[in-house]
Amino acid sequence: MELTKEQKKSIRTLKFPGEMEAEFRREFLKKSLPAYRWLLPLIVVMFASFALLDWISFNHFLKEILIIRFIGAAFILAVTLVSYFKIFEKISQSALTIASIVSGSCINAIIAVSDNSDPGSDFYFAALALVFMGAFVALRLRVVNAHWVTIFVMIGYEYVAIQHQGLLSSAGKFSIFLITNFILAGTSMLGLITCFNLEVSARRDFLQQRLLEEEHQKAEALLLNIFPENISKRLKLSSDTIADGFENVTVVFADIANFTNLAQRITPEYLVEFLNRIFSMFDDLVEKHGLEKIKTIGDAYMIASGLPDHREDHAVAAARLSLEMMQIARRFKLESTGEGLTLRIGINSGPVVAGVIGKKRFIYDLWGDAVNLASRMESHGIPGEIQISRETYELVKDKFETEERGIIHVKGKGDIMVYFLRREK
């Protein structure tokens, strides 16, 4: 995924904006913590095991040297134990930085207390290179902390080399001083570059993962806008055909009366804006009542109640929604003409089949006689009225006031009794 210039800059400067920086540090620790918990004990063992090298390399002040050695090992062990407590989340980088500085300082202290005639006095500076590599590569200190380790350890070594080893006292010793500094400076420089590259890589991975998660969330939200939640989950888990039968569902069709004439008197841009505004209000109502928007067809809006999750009050919920849709329509005025909006709503209840069809631009749709009759209730209705079938009437008559319209002829159904939904009792 391509990063923007600002995102690339934030990676190079090792600083994310705002809360993202804190989030990165938490994620960095989360990924690094398991490694810390086995690396730190290993470092303790390695640091302590060098006591054998101390015994071989130093003939004088061995007791003092071993005390210094085990002080360093004890400190690293203490940091290891702290890593199992929650406070480590806040102090991890500081604790690891101090542990690295203490390790380097212990090496410098060993060189300082040793006798210049002992073999270890001349080559123990090499152990500082191990400290740098352990801190920068194994423990993956952040770059700013790695600089502090370099500064403190190098200053400590310069002091020991000049004051205790006297490496500036003669030309021969001065050459040793230069060689040693070149080696340590080169090691620390390579370590810092590696440390920088590791942090850049970690930040890039973090940002890429964050962007992928954002895109995933957008895709999830898009799926949920198209399909019911459980249908969306089934689509992701399987490519099998999705088709379910529901025995008790109420279907609502709402249509804008005289829409064709209205559309001819307003601009295409305003027409789309107008439909978007009114249908967005309907969307909010559908979500409020826990129903399922199926689709829009031109100026028609189709809703189902009682699927994909069954509900006993499917007809009552659909009736409440329809009444609120009517209220919204009555308050709605076209800005360009000042005209009001009139809906024609039809409702029917019964069994339906629901499923996902198509290979492209999938749609969750309904089929069945109950759907067809709901559509007929709307098309054979009267503008400004909610017309319901006998099936729906039987389900809502105890909770809503209705008015018998009478028998009407419906194509494909013949003569049937229909009612107008008035208000909730």
Domain count, the chain: 2
149 shares a domain with 48: yes
The answer to whether 356 and 340 have CB atoms below 8 angstroms apart is no
393 shares a domain with 342: yes
**No. of H helices and E strands in the chain?**
15, 8
Residue 395 pLDDT > 90: yes
Q: How confident is the model at residue 234 (pLDDT cuts 50, 70, 90)?
A: low
Predicted local confidence at residue 256, as pLDDT? 87
Nearest in space to 130 (alpha carbons), one of 184, 52, 62: 184
Domain end among 197, 219, 241: 219
Q: Considering the domain boundaries, does residue 313 fall inside one? A: yes
Domain end among 166, 186, 219: 219
Give the bridge partners for 387, in sequence order: 346, 420
317 shares a domain with 272: yes
Q: Considering the domain boundaries, does residue 311 fall inside one? A: yes
Nearest in space to 140 (alpha carbons), one of 97, 85, 88: 97
241 shares a domain with 214: no
136 shares a domain with 234: no
Residue 221 pLDDT > 80: no
Q: How far is CA 362 from CA 168, 232, 253, 388, 418, in A?
A: 81, 11, 21, 30, 34
Residue 2 pLDDT > 70: yes
Q: How confident is the model at residue 333 (pLDDT cuts 50, 70, 90)?
A: confident
CA pair distance 375, 347, nearest whole angstrom: 8
Q: What is the DSSP letter of 340?
A: B
Pick from 180-184, 270-274, 333-337, 401-405 the range whose average pLDDT is largest.
Answer: 401-405
270 shares a domain with 350: yes
User: What CATH code is carried by the domain that includes residue 291?
Assistant: 3.30.70.1230
257 shares a domain with 157: no
325 shares a domain with 381: yes
Which domain does 205 fall in, by range? Answer: 5-219
Instruction: Look up residue 30 and give its two tokens.
Output: 């989360």
125 shares a domain with 47: yes
262 shares a domain with 154: no
CA pair distance 232, 226, nearest whole angstrom: 8
Domain end among 176, 201, 219: 219
Give kind and range of the element (H or E) at residue 234: helix 229-237
> Strands 386-389 and 292-297, how do they pair?
unpaired
CA pair distance 140, 194, nearest whole angstrom: 9
115 shares a domain with 233: no
Predicted local confidence at residue 230, as pLDDT? 66
Predicted local confidence at residue 361, as pLDDT? 64
Buried b (16+ CB within 10 A) or exposed e, 200-228: eebbeebbeebeeeeeeeeeeeebeebbb
Predicted local confidence at residue 49, as pLDDT? 85
The dihedrals phi and psi of 339, each to the nearest 5 degrees, come to: -75, 150
Q: Considering the domain boundaries, does residue 138 fall inside one? A: yes
The answer to whether 288 and 312 have CB atoms below 8 angstroms apart is no
Nearest in space to 242 (alpha carbons), one of 350, 372, 364, 369: 364
**Mean pLDDT calculated for residue range 68-94:** 91
238 shares a domain with 201: no
Q: Considering the domain boundaries, does residue 224 fall inside one? A: no
Q: How far is CA 41 from CA 38, 133, 363, in A?
A: 6, 16, 58
Q: How confident is the model at residue 228 (pLDDT cuts 50, 70, 90)?
A: low
